[in-house]
Amino acid sequence: MPPFLANFTAYMNAGYQKILKSIRDKNFAPIYLIDGEENFYIEKLSDHFENNILSDAERDFNLTILYGKDAHWSDVVNACKRFPMFAERQVVILKDAGQLKGGEDDKKGLNSLLDYIEKPSPTTVFVVEHPFKKADAKTRFVKRVKDKGVHFTSDKVKEDRIPEWIEGFGQEIGFSIGRQEAEILGSFLGNDLKKISNEIEKIRINVPNEKHLTTELIHKYIGISKDYNVFEFPAALTGTDKERLYRMLSYFIANSKAAPLPLITGSFYTHFNRMYVAHFVRGKSDKEAASAMGMSPYFVKNIMASLARWPLHRIERCLLLLARYNTMAVGIKSTAGDREILKEMVGQMMEE
């Protein structure tokens, strides 16, 4: 994994991993506030709090789950102050905490819990779930939680960082996912982490002995068409199957909403940049070449095979063309539509 990816993944998951470690080590904070727009990590943490602190027998008496829309603040406080039964501790989880009914005017909502937060029970693990949005950081409740317990915010991952997240997720679950496959999944599934993880797990269930995600597995089990996939488009251009190229070009011209033009030019740039690097790593092992090109070793042979038809000067010309057409794609120095730009760009790159 490249350093920038490792750093990004570590930064994004640091708080999450820290909480998981505290659960494994049985080193609990008295209160956890988990909030944010991305519900993926909130749900996963909630599952850990529900199932990995108490034993099956202990949960019957010591796990209390309350919902903000139904509970009054006093119900929550009373639950937290109870003593555990036949166990060292109890777990109280307040779900949908943003809807909690509050007390007097100056202690509405979560601020109604301030007195308890000031003196939490040492035998209670209190978890406050605030999904789909951040809790107001200006409130006294949030400020006191940061002093007394743990505050974890699960932010939405920006779409341009989704491929990195997918690669990191694959590493976490022991399923190797290359950049090209991550880009295909990100392009097709968007930035819904739960949806992405579910689709990846679906593939793993169908091929339990497979350790590497391939485009073939994506096409077979997720249903992303290989014939009309934006990340297959550049390979069709530099390949030998011209009928496939014309079919894909016709599709993207007729269906401009299938992939934005900047996404297409970005896909072409990645492909030609890899071909450029490939000229300088000829003779290296597939693993070394793949590392230099930033791709899976599984696709190195296809890139190398195309170099005879695509000498270095031709690739350099295509990279210069892409810089120009990418500028045109965002409306700079051009009033042409995406269809016309795409048709002209592909025609220019096909010239030898």
Identify the sign of the CA torsion 228, 231, 233, 235. negative
The dihedrals phi and psi of 314, each to the nearest 5 degrees, come to -70, -40
Average pLDDT over residues 324-332: 84
User: Which domains, ranges and CATH numbers included, belong to the chain?
Assistant: 3-153 (3.40.50.300), 157-224 (1.10.8.60), 226-352 (1.20.272.10)
Average pLDDT over residues 99-111: 73
Position 121 pLDDT exceeds 50: yes
Distance from C-alpha of 15 to C-alpha of 176, rounded to nearest angstrom:
24
Burial 138-163 (b: 16+ CB within 10 A, else e): eeebbebbeebbbbbbbeebeeebbb
What pLDDT shows up at residue 12? 53
Percent of the chain clearing pLDDT 90 (strictly above): 61
| Tokens 């974890």 belong to residue | 152
Weakest mean pLDDT among 169-178, 324-333, 341-350: 324-333
**168 has a pLDDT exceeding 80:** yes
| H helix or E strand, kind and range, residue 90 | strand 90-95
Average pLDDT, stretch 303-313?
93
Give CA–CA dist 262/276, Å, rounded.
Answer: 21
Instruction: Report the mean per-residue pLDDT for the chain.
Output: 88
User: What's the whole-number mean pLDDT along residues 256-264?
Assistant: 79
Torsion angle of the four alpha carbons 235, 236, 237, 243, in this order, in degrees rounded to the nearest 10: 170
Q: How far is 343 from 326, CA to CA, in rounded Å?
A: 13
Query: CA separation (Å) from 77 to 59, 104, 135, 248, 328?
Result: 19, 15, 19, 61, 60
Q: Which of 106-120, 197-211, 224-238, 328-342 has the highest mean pLDDT?
A: 197-211
pLDDT, tens only, 25-55: 999 999 999 999 999 999 999 999 999 999 9
Query: What CA–CA distance (Å, rounded) separates 46 from 52?
Result: 10
Judged against a pLDDT cut of 70, whether residue 265 lies above it is answered with yes
C-alpha distances in Å from residue 19, one per residue of 42, 69, 181, 218, 222:
11, 26, 30, 32, 32
- Report the range out of 7-21, 27-41, 95-109 with the highest average pLDDT: 27-41
State what percent of residues in the chain have pLDDT above 70: 93
CA distance 281 to 290: 9
